[in-house]
Structure 1
Amino acid sequence: MTTLENLSCPIDSAPLSRYERSLKCEHGHTYDLAKTGYVNLLPVQNKRSKDPGDSKDMVAARQSFLNQDCYFPVVEAILSSWPKKALVDGIRVLDAGCGEGYYLGKIGKILHDQKINIERVGLDISKWAVAAASKRDKSVSWLVGSNASLPVPDERFDVILCLFGFPIFCEFSRALSKSGLLLLVESGPDHLIELRKILYPSIHDYKPTHSDGVANFELLSESSENYSFALNSQVDIQNLLSMTPHIHKASYDGREAVKQLESISLTADIKLRWYQKIEEVNHA
């Protein structure tokens, strides 16, 4: 499929058309494609900081860690839990908060090998993440943008993936087709528990997110993926730490203690929840 199609101007929501190396709307707003093929649809006025999202160094650390496939079982769990009726040729999938493209790249390759070709769009607020993603897989439409204001028309996607990200449910509902699906992947109570015990003097009780449900969505299925993996160098440990919220939350003493480690065995504890968009009933 041709990439970068059926997108909307982030300033006025008008349709974007492709002209060689740029996208333009009818009002003259123009967005140039980067050399590696992605497009930045995050206008200055929508940025909360000069360089939002993961920094260049954080993206490099994430890429180095993920490329070792310690989280590949998460990819397998996503595909095994995916509702079969929605895993067919031609479905349109958005990875909302795609990072440097690991999950969307792996999912596309596995499905391609199974003779299932899907349209993939990856969006992240970090230009560094999207730049890295655009070098990983050229068959994906990569966008710099925000989940709070997706630069796409209504009902653009059949499936939205939000993997360890920041879901904006009203936007996800708008961008999903009728009966479209949403996958939330989040950390479970024991995720990286061994690392957290070193970083923090005490571990807070686990509070499940969205336990009261999600507006405009019904829960279809819930599952967990639990396994162990080992990191055998300080570099790998720091790469993992830098892609978690703990790099900002942990105390100085905790981070210093982690610097003394040469290896660590860790628990991965992942929660997967599939939701279906609920159709609004018109009483007109």
Structure 2
Amino acid sequence: MQSLSSSWSKEIQTAETLYATRDIKFQEEYRRPLLSAMGLKDGIRILDVGCGPGLLVHRLGTLLKQSNIFGIDHDADFIAFARMKTKPQTNICTFLVGDTLSLPFPDNSFDAVTSHTILGRKIFP
């Protein structure tokens, strides 16, 4: 499997633009139903694979204040943006640059794993 360039934010869409367009999906009226549909509860460890600029991690962090939420993406610019946007009250959010096909975590490290956009970003031979 061949992945797209690690500079998606330079070649396709900036972190700022992607963050803003994804934020539409997370308007206040959809946040609680989203948590319910995903079966997420406070106090768990969550990983968002292919987190891009970190919007889902940030939104989960504001709703699940006792959880530890991690985001990983191969694009260093996205991760830098995500870290910059992390508010002090959501210091439960951690962002890592890494290979989303070879995760740097031991098995069973998380209670829940999300990946709401990555499958559309991989190229299969």
Which interval holds the TM-score relative to the shorter structure?
A: 0.7 to 0.9
Aligned-pair CA distance for 1:146 = 1.7
Asked if the contact 2:49–2:71 (Cα under 8 Å) also holds between the matched residues in 1, the reply is yes
Question: 1:72 maps to which residue?
Answer: 26
Question: Within the alignment, does 1:61 sit opposite 2:14 as a pair?
Answer: no
Structure showing the higher helix proportion among its residues? 2
Q: 1:98 to 1:125 in 2, by over 3 A?
A: same
Alignment equivalent of 2:95, drawn from 128, 137, 142: 142
| Counterpart residue type for residue 110 of structure 2 | F
TM-score, structure 1 length as denominator? Answer: 0.35
Do structure 1's residue 99 and structure 2's residue 52 form an aligned pair? yes
Identify if the C-alpha distance between structure 1 residues 76 and 53 changes in structure 2 by more than 3 Å, giving closer, same or farther: farther
| Structure 1 residue aligned with 2:71 | 122
Q: 1:152 to 1:64 in 2, by over 3 A?
A: same
Q: Structure 1: any 5+ residue segments left out of the alignment?
A: 1-46, 167-185, 187-244, 246-284
Give the number of equivalent residue pairs: 112
- Counterparts in 2 of 1:88 and 1:127: CA distance versus 1, 3 Å: same
Of structures 1 and 2, the one with the larger relative CO (CA 8 A, separation 6+) is: 2
Over residues 253-278 of structure 1, what are the superposed CA-to-partner deviations in whole Å (9 max), with x where a residue is unaligned? xxxxxxxxxxxxxxxxxxxxxxxxxx
Match of 2:117 in 1: 164
Change (3 A) 1:64 1:82: closer
Q: Deviations over 1:189-241 (max 9, x none)?
A: xxxxxxxxxxxxxxxxxxxxxxxxxxxxxxxxxxxxxxxxxxxxxxxxxxxxx
Task: Kindly indicate which of the two structures has a greater share of residues assigned to strand.
Answer: 1
Kindly tell me: are residues 48 and 111 of structure 1, through their superposed partners in 2, closer, same or farther at Cα, counting changes over 3 Å? closer
Counterparts of 2:25 and 2:71 in 1: how far apart (Å)? 19
Query: TM-score scaled to structure 2, two decimals?
Result: 0.74
Match of 2:108 in 1: 155
CA distances 1:151-192 after superposition (whole Å, capped 9, x unpaired): 1112111100111222xxxxxxxxxxxxxxxxxxx9xxxxxx
Q: Secondary structure at the match of 2:24?
A: coil
Q: CA RMSD in A?
A: 2.6
1: CA distance between counterparts of 2:58 and 2:26?
Answer: 11
Q: Does 2:37 align with 1:81?
A: yes
- CA positional deviation for 1:53: 4.6
Secondary structure of the structure 2 residue equivalent to 1:80: helix
Q: CA deviation at 1:134?
A: 0.5
Larger Rg: 1
Does residue 132 (structure 1) correspond to residue 81 (structure 2)? The answer is yes
- Cα 1:96–1:48, aligned 2, differ >3 Å: closer, same or farther? closer
Conserved? CA contact 2:42–2:64, under 8 Å: no
Is contact 1:93-1:121 (8 Å) kept?
yes
SS at match of 2:21: helix
Aligned-pair identity in percent equals: 27
Output the CA distance in 2 between the equivalents of 1:75 and 1:146.
Answer: 28
SS of the aligned residue for 2:115 comes to strand
Gap runs ≥5 in structure 2: none
- State the distance in 1 between where 2:32 and 2:7 align: 27
